[in-house]
Amino acid sequence: MLPLQSPLEAYRADLSRHPNRTDFGRSDTVWLLVAHCLHRLSRAQGDARRSIAENCASAIGDLASTVAPDTPEEAAMLDQLARLRRGLPLIDTKRTAGEVVASARILAEQMGDAGALWLSFSTLGHVRLAATAAPHRDLGLAMADQAWVARSLGDLDSADELYDGVASAGESYAIPELQARAMLGKGVCDTAKVIEIASAAPNFNGWLVLEEESETAAADPAGAVRTNRQTMRGYGA
């Protein structure tokens, strides 16, 4: 399994992958703060945990107040920071923990899109440890995102191990969406990104055909079709 690095170690690893870069854009400071907060919360307990959560919420709010968004991505980032600022002090309640996980997933996706894959992997791993009270679906989706990052980093064994965890959670808690994410994730196609690209193409008027040839699908073809169709509907397809 890929190591779960501290945010700063992960960021340095990302820069080493891009020797001609000194940063990943204007959002680096925000990403590092969020990842650092989740890292600290993943290791804290009791009164110290509550204090860290409140301090992190305050720090995120202060930093967000200094950002003037220039792009839709930065505006979306500010929305997630506001969500985290509200949610972190209540991270040990189920609903709010789910909100924290959802926000971290969105920010981790931005990190990955910018090339900061190790930081994205670190953020997703630490939010899973920090927000254990979140619904099983949210934690499973974060694990699936983490598996995709591992695959993007070239570690197929770690990706498969994480996807196996997603599939196990889907089976244990009767969440077909997680089982489908695991089955689709073990392929090399980023299904959501393909749909996004096709939807944005001005002259595309064809079909997207998705085939699965996993051992799971071979054992229960009809069940795999039902599960994957439900997942594709979630993508808007």
Using CA atoms, how far apart are residues 127 and 74, in angstroms rounded to an integer? 21
Using CA atoms, how far apart are residues 144 and 2, in angstroms rounded to an integer? 14
Using CA atoms, how far apart are residues 187 and 191, in angstroms rounded to an integer? 9
User: In this structure, are residues 179 and 170 in contact, taking their beta carbons and an 8 Å threshold?
Assistant: yes
* Sequential pLDDT tens for the chain (237 residues): 999 999 999 999 999 999 999 999 999 999 999 999 999 999 999 999 999 999 999 999 999 999 999 999 999 999 999 999 999 999 999 999 999 999 999 999 999 999 999 999 999 999 999 999 999 999 999 999 999 999 999 999 999 999 999 999 999 999 988 988 888 887 646 677 667 767 777 777 888 777 776 777 778 888 888 877 777 777 776
Q: What is the pTM of this model?
A: 0.83
Question: Going by C-beta distance under 8 Å and a sequence separation of 6 or more, which residues neighbour residue 143?
Answer: 124, 128, 162, 165, 166, 169
Structural element, H or E, at residue 172: helix 156-172
